[in-house]
Amino acid sequence: MKLEDEGFVGKGKLHHVGAGAFLSFSEGWLCFGGSPVTESLVLAEVLGAHGIKGWLKVRPLVEDPNFLEGLEGLVLAPGPKMRQADSRGVKVTNLRPQGRGWVIQLSGVDDRTQAEALRGMVLRGSAALLPDLEDGDFYWRDLEGLRVWCEAPEGLCLLGEIDHLLETGANDVLVVRPCEGSMDDKERLIPWLVDEVVHSVDMDAGTVRVIWYTDV
């Protein structure tokens, strides 16, 4: 069974966005994000100041940071390593790639002193702010908890549930952990290789079908 049999097309390539991700079968990729549209996602991390005019060096956690410019509803909030800091609404007024990273300007941040004070902060926004997905695309977080069935010679075998995903460089990986009714108590790392390994995703049924090894 191929993805096309389940209404999907494409190669299943993966892209990354924030604290979760979405899978695209139409374009073939995965992007990170949160689950319900109201969930607050980390879209970028502030690394420090850039220059003297308030620009910030950031690490974007989105596929294409350009959509952040002018976006309403962004919140500048303390990051996980900051003890105390106030959150406030901001707008990205300018941004551009800089070397291997990105730099941005935020409303109300006009000099280096203000910019330096924001080191360790994060840009947050709801999942509703993310670009709309095409048909056949899924957020990574929506895959977590799905049951993984293996198409084995002896029939369908339940391997477990998707706990999370890993980015490895070559391809992304499903971390499948045992659950009630699974064939054994093994944790399995299953590469996200459409057609070759991953044959279908049924969100309504809460299942993913794969061809994988049942004895490892």
When pLDDT is cut at 50, 70 and 90, the band that residue 170 belongs to is: confident
State the average pLDDT for the chain.
Answer: 81
User: Residue 4's Cα: distance from chain center in Å?
Assistant: 24
One CATH from 2.40.10.10, 3.90.420.10, 2.30.30.240, 1.10.3470.10 for 3-33+135-210:
2.30.30.240
Tell me how far CA of residue 173 lies from CA of 37, 148, 183, 192, 211, in angstroms: 25, 13, 20, 5, 14
> Which residues partner with 102 through β-bridges?
58, 97
pTM score above 0.85: no
Tell me the CB-side half-sphere exposure of residue 2, using CA atoms within 13 A. 6
193-215 burial string, b = 16+ CB within 10 Å, else e?
Answer: bbeebbbbbeeeeeebbbebeee
Q: So what's the pLDDT on residue 39?
A: 64
The percentage of residues in the chain with a pLDDT greater than 70, rounded to a whole number, is: 79
Q: What is the CATH number that goes with domain 40-129?
A: 2.40.30.60
**pLDDT tens sequence across 1-51:** 333 333 333 334 444 455 444 444 433 334 444 444 456 788 999 999 999
Task: Give the CA radius of gyration of the chain.
Answer: 20
Model pLDDT for residues 45-92, shown as the tens digit of each residue:
999 999 999 999 999 988 789 999 999 999 999 998 877 778 999 999
* C-alpha torsion 82→85→87→91, nearest 10: -80
- Decide if 1 contacts 108 (C-beta within 8 A): no
Domain residue spans of the chain: 3-33+135-210, 40-129
pLDDT band at 136 (very low <50, low <70, confident <90, very high): low
